[in-house]
Amino acid sequence: MTTAAAQPGSLEGHGILVTGGGSGIGQGTAQRLVADGATVMICGRTEEKLVAAVDAITGELGADAGARVSHRVCDVTDEAMVAETVAAATALTGTLDGLFACAGGSTGLGPVTSLAYDAWQSTVAVNLHGTFLSIKHGGGVMAEQGSGAIVAMSSIAGTTSHRWFGAYGPAKAGIDMLVKMAADELGASGVRVNCVQPGVVATEIMEAVTQGGEVIDDYLAKMPISRIGEVDDVAGVVRFLLGPESPWITGQSIAIDGGMNLRAGPDYSPFLKHMFSDEAMRGVVPKSE
């Protein structure tokens, strides 16, 4: 629980759960939280990645800080696993002071008229359903204790059209509204709920884009602050929203994208033009003979 003794820059005594913490922004944010004094549990579907993330955090911060980071396997689309993981994270300190619902991803790109339904379902499940379950169970613990902060992972793809992104943008848009609704409901119990909307960030999942080419050039051309984002750019904002420095901020969606949301989404056609015909890219579905 956040206490009056907590000082700006310190998360000492805070218990925090990070979903999707085995790599990328989740791992980097967990490291930032541990460095600032929090006790953090990371979770994800792949134990090997979680173990490697814990080892990396310990290696970076030292054994003393590493003693405050642990892991647990959890598929955020499985409600029983989410409930058990929230309980386990709460047990580490006796309270759940923060939750970063970072787990997400996409299983299919392409024209909406050609998108496989199972790709749509799985993408919505891990992003929107997983975030809902995390807020449902994490928010329930926080409401009972009378305090806490939640940050969800959205994207600029939820507010700016990203052609051929399939279910990812709609799922992230759903997260934005879920956050507003949850913030409105949970505020009476002293619980804050916000989300972040990153642009293109240098992570493993975005390596095919950030390593160079037409798509990243298009991203950069549409950014007032024209550079690829770093994990720390996002981790710093999440840390602020989870910490005692932001006690009167709730229901907000914060873009972390170099200002790209002011202009337009990226053109991903260079990645897809070899997979789909020109007609398919504009929505024409070939008729079966």
User: What phi and psi, each to the nearest 5 degrees, are found at residue 38?
Assistant: -75, 155
First to last CA, the chain: 64
Q: What is the pLDDT of residue 6?
A: 44
Burial 185-213 (b: 16+ CB within 10 A, else e): ebeeebbbbbbbbbbbbbbeebeebbeee
Which pair of tokens denotes residue 257? Answer: 């994208």
Q: How many CB atoms lie within 10 A of CB 63?
A: 8
Cα(100)–Cα(242) distance, rounded to whole angstroms?
8
Q: What is the pLDDT of residue 289?
A: 53
Assigned fold of 15-281: Rossmann fold (3.40.50)
pTM score, whole prediction? 0.95
Which positions are annotated as active-site residues? 168, 172
Among 115, 234, 128, 217, CA closest to 165: 115
Q: Where are the domains of the chain?
A: 15-281
pLDDT, one tens digit per residue, over 238-262 is: 999 999 999 999 999 999 999 999 9
pLDDT, one tens digit per residue, over 145-176 is: 999 999 999 999 999 999 999 999 999 999 99
Beta bridge partners of 39: 15
3 state SS of 41: strand
Point out the residues of the chain with pLDDT beneath 50: 1-6
